[in-house]
Structure 1
Amino acid sequence: MTDHLRDRYEIVELCTRMGWHLDHCQWDELVDLFTDEIRLDYTSLNGGEPVTLPRKDVIEKWRSNREGLAATQHLVSNQLVDVDGDTAEATAMFQATHLLPNEFGGPLWTLAGEYRYALLRTADGWRIKGLTMSIIWAEGNRNIRDLAVQAD
């Protein structure tokens, strides 16, 4: 296997694991996917500005958002990878469905769009150092997010 194909395989696997571990509440496994600090850009969903946060803070925020829900499913596809030495950028289409049966509306909220991952090759392999989520469409009960946090 060429170095290029190996890098591509490792990066696609890494980005896929992010959604898998989120959906299965495997918080300890998420730690090894990221650099110590992560630049997050969720401005297409929440407005504001991108932020750079310690990895532990990002994972804890995701944990608090996820644990109040009955389930989530992150589907990631159409992955493209561009490697430049020890850095890389990957893009992928995503669909993220959130489930929370509730008395205030529908039980589902689905987001779909594009993830852009900034990656760094470390002594331990590729790690995600940045994540940008660009929403293309959304459907369902957005209030599920707030209800899930209140349920904790």
Structure 2
Amino acid sequence: MTDLVKALAEASQLLYREAYYLDARRWDEWLAQFTDDCEFWMPAWKGEHELTENPKREISLIYYGSRAGLEDRVWRIRSGQSIASTPVPRTTHTVNNILVEDVGADSMTALSTWTAHCFFHKTNKTEVFFGDYRHTLRRTADGWKIARKYVVLKNDYVPTMLDIYNI
């Protein structure tokens, strides 16, 4: 097996696992896929084909500068403190077209496309969100983890609330 094929298989398993844990609401296992110093960023569109470039100076749809931010978000979802997330919608994520690049001994980048089908109990409606992912992966003592997740939401007219489990 070539190094590129092995890297693709390892990256694919991690991305599929992350999507599965979101859909199953296995929050602790989902969080465990991220490094402590991870960045989770979904920039906003500032034009038809231009995204914001700096999450600290421009508007983002979602931004967490570390896993602690993701942990806080999960705590709010679990505790019911997030009224918009109660009840949490049913979701099904698909991750497709996975490509790996910049493969090194301890890091790689995985590019992919995604779709999330979401059923909202309160409104009895289904919404579909879709876009691109760019995951920066880092090898740790526990295996590959997500050091950065960059999400481009292609259909950014959001008719309802949007959260980590919708993307």
TM class by shorter chain equals 0.7 to 0.9
Tell me the matched-pair count: 142
Structure 1 residue runs without a partner (length 5+): 147-152
After superposition, where does 1:1-152 map in structure 2 within 5 Å? 1-44=1-44, 48-49=59-60, 50-53=63-66, 55-62=67-74, 64=77, 68-82=87-101, 83-103=103-123, 107-137=125-155, 142-145=159-162
Q: Does the CA contact (< 8 Å) of 2:87 and 2:121 recur in 1?
A: no
Counterpart amino acid of residue 69 in structure 2: D
Instruction: State the distance in 1 between where 2:14 and 2:118 align.
Output: 22
Q: Would the alpha carbon gap of residues 92 and 62 (structure 1) be closer, same or farther in structure 2, given more than 3 Å must change? A: farther
TM-score of the superposed pair, with normalisation by structure 1:
0.78
TM-score, scaled relative to structure 2: 0.72
What is the CA deviation profile of residues 111-150 of structure 1, one whole-angstrom value per residue up to 9, with x for unaligned ones? 11101101111122111010111122257x632449xxxx
Residues 1:13 and 1:67: Cα distance change in structure 2 (over 3 Å): farther
The range that moved more, 118-127 or 16-25, is 118-127
Unaligned runs of 5+ residues in structure 2 are 46-51, 53-57
- 1:60 offset after TM fit, Å? 4.4
- Output the CA distance in 2 between the equivalents of 1:7 and 1:145: 31
Cα pair 1:74 1:96 within 8 Å, conserved? yes
Q: In the alignment, which residue of structure 1 is the partner of 2:49? A: none
Q: What SS does structure 1 have at the residue aligned with 2:6?
A: helix
Q: What displacement does 1:96 show?
A: 1.1
Farther off after superposition, 41-50 or 70-79: 41-50
For residues 61-87 of structure 1, give each alpha carbon's deviation from its aligned partner in whole angstroms, at most 9, with x where no partner exists: 256176622401111100001113311
Higher helix share: 1
Classify the secondary structure of the residue corresponding to 1:84. coil
Counterpart amino acid of 2:141? A
Q: Partner amino acid for 2:151?
A: M
Check the 8 A contact 1:94/1:114 in 2, yes or no.
Answer: yes
RMSD, aligned α-carbons:
2.7
Contact 1:31 1:56 in 2 (8 A): no
